[in-house]
Structure 1
Amino acid sequence: MAVFQCNEVNSVFNHYPERCQKSLLTIRALIFDVASKTEGVGAITEMLKWGQPSYLTLETGSGTTIRLDRFGDSHVAIFFHCQTTLIDTFRTLFLELAYSKNRAIVLDPKNDLPIDKLSICIEMALIYKLMKKG
């Protein structure tokens, strides 16, 4: 697992309830893994935005911010910038995933994470600005 880039992010993860923490840490690791395998993304910058662990492509500017957090009392979510077309695209590709408006994929930490589908969604977010140029 990637080392935390700032203590504040580490602290947020440590304060999540155990049922959410495992899923969120798995998604965090997936973001770094997908980024390392995706051409043009470069290093991921990890920081807090709006009090949520956030992942940015500051080095290359290739993508849009991905944020992680709890969603209500029992779920977790991967948040994407609401002014992108990402969630609409994800809905077209993966009808079976749960969404919150045009801003998040919502997941139940009691269930296995759909890693393959999330990997595709994460990759699309990490290269969103490159796709818009092309």
Structure 2
Amino acid sequence: MQFAAFQDLAVDAAFQSFAEPLRAPLLRLRQLILDTGARATGLGGLVETLKWGEPAYLPVKQRVGTTVRVAALKGLSSHYAMYVHCQTTLVETFARHYPDTFRFEGSRALVFHQDEDIPVGPLEHCIGLALTYYRWR
């Protein structure tokens, strides 16, 4: 997989700060978010920035979707997560669609182990739901 270049040096630095075993899986997750955002209509593109010091992705157009963040999972050096706004119904929706596909953390995250293969199709669907949340909720 080829990774898109970083447009924001602070985001690049955030990825460089991730521990080596997690950096590659997090970069793959980043690329999946960027690719999914590029295919989605009506977003106006994606903004890549930092929120709470973590890489975050949100539609350029306002009130289309919610922010998706990626980070190492605190307390578990072998795990990482894709976070969404905890006051949405997104994780509940992901769990309804994919109850046996993902591990969930409360109402805010999908959790992955550094060595597992990400189920690309279902994860693209979840990312698309987050990036278009205000259109369908």
TM surpasses 0.5: yes
Segment drifting more, 52-61 vs 91-100: 52-61
Shift of 1:2: 2.3
| Contact 1:9–1:53 (8 Å) recurs in 2 | yes
Deviations 1:65-95 (A, max 9, x none): 0000001321000000000000000111111
Offset, 1:58: 2.6
Contact 2:56–2:70 (CA under 8 A) maintained in structure 1: yes
Other-structure match for 1:79:
83
List aligned pairs for 1:1-134, cutoff 5 A.
1-71=3-73, 72-96=76-100, 97-132=102-137
**What's the TM-score once normalised by structure 1's chain length?**
0.94
| Deviation for aligned residue 1:60 | 4.6
* C-alpha RMSD over aligned residues: 1.1
Task: Kindly report structure 1 stretches of 4+ aligned residues shifted beyond 4 Å.
Answer: none
Question: Which structure 2 residue ranges, 5 or more long, are not aligned?
Answer: none
| Structure 1 Cα separation of the partners of residues 39 and 60 of structure 2 | 17
Distance apart, 1:5 and its partner CA:
2.2
Residues 13-41 of structure 1 deviation map (CA, whole Å, 9 limit, x = unaligned): 01111211111111111111111111112
Identity across the alignment (%): 36
Count of residue correspondences: 132
Deviates more, 1:35-44 or 1:96-105: 35-44
TM-score by length of 2: 0.92
